[in-house]
Amino acid sequence: MAPQDALLGWDEDTTAEAYAAFTRAHPMYGSTSCDLARRAHLADSRLVVDLCGGTGATAEAILALAPADARVISLDNAPAMQRIGRRTLADPRLSWVTAPAEELAQHAPAGGVDAVVCNSAIWKTNISVVFAAVRRVLQPGGRFVFNVGGGFANVIHPDQQTGRIGPSLNTLIRQVAARDYGYTPPPVADRNGPKLPLETITEQLAATGLALVDTEVTAQHSTMAEKKAWLSIPVFARPDGDFTHAQRMDILAKAYAQTSPDAPTVTSWLVVVAEQPEGRP
Protein backbone atom coordinates (compact mmCIF):
# COMPACT_ATOMS: atom_id res chain seq x y z
CA MET A 1 0.00 0.00 0.00
CA ALA A 2 1.04 3.61 -0.49
CA PRO A 3 2.24 5.41 2.65
CA GLN A 4 -0.77 7.05 4.28
CA ASP A 5 1.11 10.29 5.03
CA ALA A 6 1.68 10.73 1.30
CA LEU A 7 -2.02 10.65 0.42
CA LEU A 8 -3.38 13.37 2.66
CA GLY A 9 -3.73 17.06 1.92
CA TRP A 10 -2.88 17.22 -1.78
CA ASP A 11 -6.46 17.84 -2.91
CA GLU A 12 -6.76 21.04 -0.90
CA ASP A 13 -6.77 24.45 -2.53
CA THR A 14 -4.37 25.96 0.00
CA THR A 15 -1.79 23.27 -0.69
CA ALA A 16 -2.26 23.45 -4.47
CA GLU A 17 -1.91 27.23 -4.53
CA ALA A 18 1.16 27.21 -2.27
CA TYR A 19 2.78 24.40 -4.25
CA ALA A 20 2.20 26.15 -7.57
CA ALA A 21 3.56 29.42 -6.19
CA PHE A 22 6.67 27.61 -4.98
CA THR A 23 7.33 26.02 -8.38
CA ARG A 24 7.06 29.45 -10.03
CA ALA A 25 9.31 31.24 -7.54
CA HIS A 26 12.00 28.64 -6.84
CA PRO A 27 14.06 26.41 -9.12
CA MET A 28 13.90 23.05 -7.31
CA TYR A 29 11.04 21.39 -9.18
CA GLY A 30 11.97 22.99 -12.49
CA SER A 31 15.56 21.81 -12.16
CA THR A 32 14.72 18.25 -11.18
CA SER A 33 12.04 18.09 -13.90
CA CYS A 34 14.52 19.14 -16.58
CA ASP A 35 17.00 16.53 -15.34
CA LEU A 36 14.42 13.74 -15.53
CA ALA A 37 13.14 14.84 -18.93
CA ARG A 38 16.68 14.86 -20.30
CA ARG A 39 17.31 11.32 -19.06
CA ALA A 40 14.08 10.11 -20.69
CA HIS A 41 15.59 10.55 -24.19
CA LEU A 42 12.57 12.31 -25.66
CA ALA A 43 13.98 13.31 -29.07
CA ASP A 44 11.79 10.83 -30.96
CA SER A 45 8.89 10.64 -28.52
CA ARG A 46 5.31 11.11 -29.61
CA LEU A 47 3.47 10.47 -26.34
CA VAL A 48 4.87 10.92 -22.82
CA VAL A 49 3.20 10.49 -19.43
CA ASP A 50 3.94 12.88 -16.57
CA LEU A 51 3.03 10.58 -13.68
CA CYS A 52 1.78 12.23 -10.46
CA GLY A 53 2.09 15.43 -12.46
CA GLY A 54 0.69 17.89 -9.91
CA THR A 55 0.38 21.40 -11.31
CA GLY A 56 2.49 20.67 -14.40
CA ALA A 57 6.10 21.65 -13.63
CA THR A 58 7.41 18.38 -15.04
CA ALA A 59 5.01 18.42 -17.99
CA GLU A 60 6.39 21.82 -18.91
CA ALA A 61 9.95 20.44 -18.91
CA ILE A 62 8.87 17.46 -21.02
CA LEU A 63 7.15 19.70 -23.57
CA ALA A 64 10.30 21.79 -23.87
CA LEU A 65 12.42 18.75 -24.84
CA ALA A 66 9.95 16.62 -26.78
CA PRO A 67 9.28 17.12 -30.51
CA ALA A 68 6.84 19.87 -31.47
CA ASP A 69 4.18 17.32 -32.42
CA ALA A 70 4.53 15.24 -29.23
CA ARG A 71 1.73 15.00 -26.69
CA VAL A 72 1.93 14.78 -22.91
CA ILE A 73 -0.56 13.25 -20.50
CA SER A 74 -0.31 14.64 -16.96
CA LEU A 75 -1.90 12.13 -14.60
CA ASP A 76 -2.57 13.00 -10.96
CA ASN A 77 -5.23 12.04 -8.42
CA ALA A 78 -5.64 15.53 -6.88
CA PRO A 79 -8.21 17.67 -8.74
CA ALA A 80 -7.10 20.79 -6.84
CA MET A 81 -3.57 20.45 -8.20
CA GLN A 82 -4.81 19.98 -11.73
CA ARG A 83 -7.18 22.93 -11.51
CA ILE A 84 -4.18 25.16 -10.84
CA GLY A 85 -2.21 23.45 -13.60
CA ARG A 86 -4.90 24.01 -16.20
CA ARG A 87 -4.94 27.72 -15.37
CA THR A 88 -1.18 28.22 -15.44
CA LEU A 89 -0.08 25.85 -18.21
CA ALA A 90 -2.30 26.15 -21.25
CA ASP A 91 -0.75 24.06 -24.03
CA PRO A 92 -2.81 22.18 -26.63
CA ARG A 93 -0.29 19.32 -26.53
CA LEU A 94 -1.01 18.67 -22.84
CA SER A 95 -3.93 16.58 -21.54
CA TRP A 96 -4.91 16.36 -17.88
CA VAL A 97 -6.18 13.06 -16.47
CA THR A 98 -7.43 12.86 -12.89
CA ALA A 99 -6.59 9.39 -11.62
CA PRO A 100 -4.14 7.66 -9.27
CA ALA A 101 -0.82 6.48 -10.63
CA GLU A 102 -1.88 2.88 -10.06
CA GLU A 103 -4.53 3.31 -12.79
CA LEU A 104 -2.06 4.46 -15.44
CA ALA A 105 -2.75 1.51 -17.75
CA GLN A 106 -6.46 2.31 -17.76
CA HIS A 107 -5.84 5.80 -19.14
CA ALA A 108 -2.99 5.27 -21.60
CA PRO A 109 -3.84 4.86 -25.31
CA ALA A 110 -3.88 1.35 -26.74
CA GLY A 111 -0.76 2.09 -28.80
CA GLY A 112 1.34 2.67 -25.71
CA VAL A 113 3.59 5.56 -24.69
CA ASP A 114 7.22 6.41 -25.38
CA ALA A 115 8.24 7.47 -21.87
CA VAL A 116 6.92 7.82 -18.33
CA VAL A 117 8.44 10.47 -16.06
CA CYS A 118 7.68 10.93 -12.36
CA ASN A 119 9.20 13.73 -10.29
CA SER A 120 9.38 13.44 -6.50
CA ALA A 121 6.26 11.32 -6.05
CA ILE A 122 6.89 7.65 -6.85
CA TRP A 123 7.51 6.89 -3.17
CA LYS A 124 3.91 7.72 -2.29
CA THR A 125 2.47 5.13 -4.68
CA ASN A 126 2.04 1.39 -4.52
CA ILE A 127 5.16 0.75 -6.56
CA SER A 128 4.47 -2.88 -7.37
CA VAL A 129 1.20 -1.86 -9.04
CA VAL A 130 2.64 1.27 -10.65
CA PHE A 131 5.72 -0.50 -12.05
CA ALA A 132 3.47 -3.19 -13.54
CA ALA A 133 1.28 -0.49 -15.12
CA VAL A 134 4.32 1.24 -16.58
CA ARG A 135 5.50 -2.08 -17.99
CA ARG A 136 2.11 -2.52 -19.69
CA VAL A 137 2.03 0.88 -21.38
CA LEU A 138 5.67 1.50 -22.38
CA GLN A 139 6.72 0.92 -25.95
CA PRO A 140 9.80 -1.32 -26.47
CA GLY A 141 12.85 0.75 -25.66
CA GLY A 142 10.74 3.34 -23.85
CA ARG A 143 12.12 4.82 -20.64
CA PHE A 144 10.68 5.08 -17.15
CA VAL A 145 12.51 7.84 -15.25
CA PHE A 146 11.84 8.88 -11.67
CA ASN A 147 13.54 10.19 -8.55
CA VAL A 148 13.26 9.66 -4.82
CA GLY A 149 14.27 12.15 -2.14
CA GLY A 150 17.48 11.19 -0.40
CA GLY A 151 15.83 10.76 2.98
CA PHE A 152 13.22 8.42 1.53
CA ALA A 153 15.83 6.45 -0.43
CA ASN A 154 18.47 6.42 2.34
CA VAL A 155 21.14 8.02 0.14
CA ILE A 156 23.25 11.14 0.62
CA HIS A 157 25.31 13.05 -1.90
CA PRO A 158 28.83 14.10 -0.81
CA ASP A 159 27.88 17.76 -1.34
CA GLN A 160 25.22 17.43 1.35
CA GLN A 161 27.81 16.24 3.83
CA THR A 162 30.35 18.97 3.06
CA GLY A 163 28.07 21.89 2.16
CA ARG A 164 26.11 22.27 5.39
CA ILE A 165 26.79 25.27 7.59
CA GLY A 166 25.24 24.92 11.03
CA PRO A 167 22.13 22.88 11.92
CA SER A 168 19.51 22.14 9.27
CA LEU A 169 16.20 23.96 9.29
CA ASN A 170 14.44 20.69 10.17
CA THR A 171 16.71 20.31 13.19
CA LEU A 172 15.96 23.85 14.32
CA ILE A 173 12.23 23.23 13.84
CA ARG A 174 12.36 20.23 16.16
CA GLN A 175 14.30 22.23 18.74
CA VAL A 176 11.83 25.14 18.69
CA ALA A 177 8.84 22.77 18.82
CA ALA A 178 10.34 21.01 21.83
CA ARG A 179 11.10 24.30 23.60
CA ASP A 180 7.83 26.12 22.92
CA TYR A 181 5.28 23.32 22.48
CA GLY A 182 6.64 20.41 24.49
CA TYR A 183 7.23 18.40 21.33
CA THR A 184 8.97 15.06 21.71
CA PRO A 185 10.66 14.03 18.46
CA PRO A 186 10.29 10.39 17.43
CA PRO A 187 13.38 8.18 17.68
CA VAL A 188 15.91 8.91 14.96
CA ALA A 189 15.45 5.43 13.51
CA ASP A 190 11.71 6.04 13.08
CA ARG A 191 12.15 9.59 11.78
CA ASN A 192 14.79 8.81 9.16
CA GLY A 193 13.91 5.28 8.13
CA PRO A 194 14.00 4.87 4.34
CA LYS A 195 10.60 4.57 2.66
CA LEU A 196 11.93 3.44 -0.72
CA PRO A 197 15.59 2.34 -0.80
CA LEU A 198 17.32 1.35 -4.01
CA GLU A 199 17.24 -2.32 -3.03
CA THR A 200 13.44 -2.27 -3.00
CA ILE A 201 13.28 -0.39 -6.28
CA THR A 202 15.67 -2.84 -7.95
CA GLU A 203 13.71 -5.85 -6.71
CA GLN A 204 10.38 -4.42 -7.87
CA LEU A 205 11.68 -3.44 -11.30
CA ALA A 206 13.10 -6.93 -11.80
CA ALA A 207 9.86 -8.55 -10.66
CA THR A 208 7.93 -6.42 -13.14
CA GLY A 209 10.24 -7.08 -16.07
CA LEU A 210 11.55 -3.56 -16.53
CA ALA A 211 15.30 -3.30 -17.12
CA LEU A 212 17.31 -1.06 -14.79
CA VAL A 213 19.46 1.19 -16.99
CA ASP A 214 21.06 3.63 -14.56
CA THR A 215 20.96 5.06 -11.05
CA GLU A 216 22.63 8.19 -9.75
CA VAL A 217 22.67 10.12 -6.50
CA THR A 218 22.43 13.80 -7.39
CA ALA A 219 22.59 17.01 -5.37
CA GLN A 220 20.15 19.92 -5.50
CA HIS A 221 21.76 23.17 -4.31
CA SER A 222 19.50 25.87 -2.91
CA THR A 223 19.24 28.33 -0.04
CA MET A 224 17.67 28.48 3.38
CA ALA A 225 15.07 30.88 1.98
CA GLU A 226 13.97 28.28 -0.56
CA LYS A 227 13.88 25.60 2.13
CA LYS A 228 11.64 27.82 4.26
CA ALA A 229 9.31 28.42 1.31
CA TRP A 230 9.08 24.67 0.69
CA LEU A 231 8.30 23.95 4.35
CA SER A 232 5.56 26.60 4.22
CA ILE A 233 3.52 24.40 1.86
CA PRO A 234 0.90 22.77 4.14
CA VAL A 235 1.68 19.14 3.20
CA PHE A 236 5.39 19.66 3.86
CA ALA A 237 5.07 21.71 7.07
CA ARG A 238 6.84 20.33 10.13
CA PRO A 239 6.94 18.91 12.70
CA ASP A 240 4.62 15.93 12.42
CA GLY A 241 2.11 15.44 15.17
CA ASP A 242 -0.89 17.25 16.57
CA PHE A 243 -0.12 20.81 15.44
CA THR A 244 -2.26 23.31 13.59
CA HIS A 245 -0.82 24.85 10.44
CA ALA A 246 -0.60 28.20 12.26
CA GLN A 247 1.49 26.57 15.00
CA ARG A 248 3.77 24.97 12.44
CA MET A 249 4.26 28.33 10.74
CA ASP A 250 5.08 29.91 14.10
CA ILE A 251 7.67 27.21 14.73
CA LEU A 252 9.07 27.61 11.21
CA ALA A 253 9.39 31.39 11.59
CA LYS A 254 11.26 31.05 14.88
CA ALA A 255 13.57 28.37 13.47
CA TYR A 256 14.23 30.34 10.30
CA ALA A 257 15.11 33.44 12.35
CA GLN A 258 18.15 31.51 13.59
CA THR A 259 19.49 31.13 10.05
CA SER A 260 20.57 33.32 7.16
CA PRO A 261 18.35 33.47 4.04
CA ASP A 262 21.32 33.02 1.73
CA ALA A 263 22.87 30.15 3.66
CA PRO A 264 23.42 27.24 1.27
CA THR A 265 21.43 24.04 1.61
CA VAL A 266 21.86 20.78 -0.27
CA THR A 267 19.37 17.98 -0.76
CA SER A 268 20.13 14.55 -2.17
CA TRP A 269 18.10 12.64 -4.77
CA LEU A 270 18.23 9.11 -6.06
CA VAL A 271 17.52 9.17 -9.81
CA VAL A 272 16.46 5.93 -11.49
CA VAL A 273 16.25 5.14 -15.20
CA ALA A 274 14.52 1.94 -16.30
CA GLU A 275 13.57 0.72 -19.76
CA GLN A 276 11.07 -1.49 -21.49
CA PRO A 277 13.05 -4.35 -23.04
CA GLU A 278 12.96 -4.62 -26.80
CA GLY A 279 10.65 -7.31 -28.13
CA ARG A 280 8.41 -7.36 -25.07
CA PRO A 281 5.40 -9.71 -25.31
Predicted confidence (pLDDT) per residue in 25-54, tens digit: 999 999 999 999 999 999 999 999 999 999
Q: What is the spatial order of strands in the sheet that 94-98 belongs to? A: 94-98, 71-76, 47-51, 113-118, 138-149, 264-275, 211-223
Q: Which of 36, 58, 32 is nearest to 222 (CA)?
A: 32
Percent of the chain at pLDDT above 90? Answer: 86
List b or e across 214-237, with b for residues whose CB sees 16 or more CB atoms inside 10 angstroms.
eeebbebbbbbbbbbbbbbbbeeb
Position 80: which residue type?
A
What does the alpha-carbon distance between residue 30 and residue 119 come to, in Å, rounded to a whole number? 10
What does the alpha-carbon distance between residue 235 and residue 245 come to, in Å, rounded to a whole number? 10
The pLDDT of residue 185 = 84
User: Mapping DSSP to helix (H, G, I), strand (E, B) and coil, where does residue 263 land?
Assistant: coil
Q: Which structural domains are found in the chain, ordered by start?
A: 4-156+193-221+267-275 (3.40.50.150)
Whether the Cβ atoms of residue 164 and residue 158 lie closer than 8 Å to each other? no
Q: Report whether pLDDT(4) > 90.
A: no
Element (DSSP H or E) covering residue 140: strand 138-149
For 170-199, what is the mean pLDDT? 84
Q: Is the pTM of this model over 0.85?
A: yes
What does the alpha-carbon distance between residue 102 and residue 172 come to, in Å, rounded to a whole number? 37
Give φ, ψ of 34 to 5 degrees.
Answer: -65, -40
What does the alpha-carbon distance between residue 272 and residue 116 come to, in Å, rounded to a whole number? 12
Whether the Cβ atoms of residue 164 and residue 139 lie closer than 8 Å to each other? no
Element (DSSP H or E) covering residue 40: none
The pLDDT of residue 35 = 98
Whether the Cβ atoms of residue 217 and residue 225 lie closer than 8 Å to each other? no
Q: Report whether pLDDT(137) > 70.
A: yes
pLDDT digits (tens, 9 = 90+) for 225-274: 999 999 999 999 999 889 999 999 999 999 999 999 999 999 999 999 99
Q: Which residues make beta-bridge pairs with 75?
A: 51, 97
Q: Put residue 121 in one of left, alpha, beta given phi > 0 → left and psi -120 to 50 → alpha.
A: alpha
